[in-house]
Amino acid sequence: MKDNYSFKWQAENMTIKNEGEVVYLTFPSLEAVIGVRHGFSTRLGGLSKGVYESMNLSFTRGDSDEVVKENFRRIAKAIGFTTESIVCGDQTHTANVLRVGKADCGNGLTKPKPYQDIDGLITNEADVTLATFYADCVPLYIVDPVHKAIGLSHSGWKGTVQKIGKVTVEAMTREFQTNPSDVLVAIGPSICQDCYEVSEDVVAEFEAQYSKVQCQEMIIAKENGKYQLDLWQACVCNFLEAGVNEDNITVGGLCTCCNADMLFSHRASHGKRGNLAAFMSIE
Pairing relation of β-strands 138-144 and 36-41?
unpaired
Tell me the DSSP string of 206-229: HHHHS-HHHHHHHEEE-TTS-EEE
Amino acid at 141: Y
Query: Quick one: pLDDT at residue 94?
Result: 98
Query: Quick one: pLDDT at residue 6?
Result: 57
Does the pLDDT value for residue 3 go beyond 50? Answer: no
Q: Span 23-39, mean pLDDT?
A: 97
Structural domains of the chain sorted by starting position, each given as residue range(s) with its CATH number in brackets: 15-192+248-282 (3.60.140.10)
Read off the pLDDT of residues 205-254 as tens digits, 9 standing for 90 and up: 999 999 999 999 999 999 999 999 999 999 999 999 999 999 999 999 99
Q: Span 130-153, mean pLDDT?
A: 98
In this prediction, residue 13 has a pLDDT band, given cuts at 50, 70 and 90, of confident
Q: Span 174-183, mean pLDDT?
A: 98
Does the pLDDT value for residue 5 go beyond 70? Answer: no
Read off the pLDDT of residues 82-126 as tens digits, 9 standing for 90 and up: 999 999 999 999 999 999 999 999 999 999 999 999 999 999 999
The mean of the pLDDT values for the chain is 95
Looking from the CA of 275 toward its CB, the CA atoms found within 13 Å total 22
Looking at the chain, the whole-number percentage of residues with pLDDT higher than 70 is 96
Pairing relation of β-strands 149-155 and 120-123?
antiparallel
d(CA 278, CA 255): 15
244 vs 11, residue with greater confidence: 244
Read off the pLDDT of residues 124-140 as tens digits, 9 standing for 90 and up: 999 999 999 999 999 99
- Say what angle helices 231-242 and 164-176 make with each other, to 10 degrees: 30
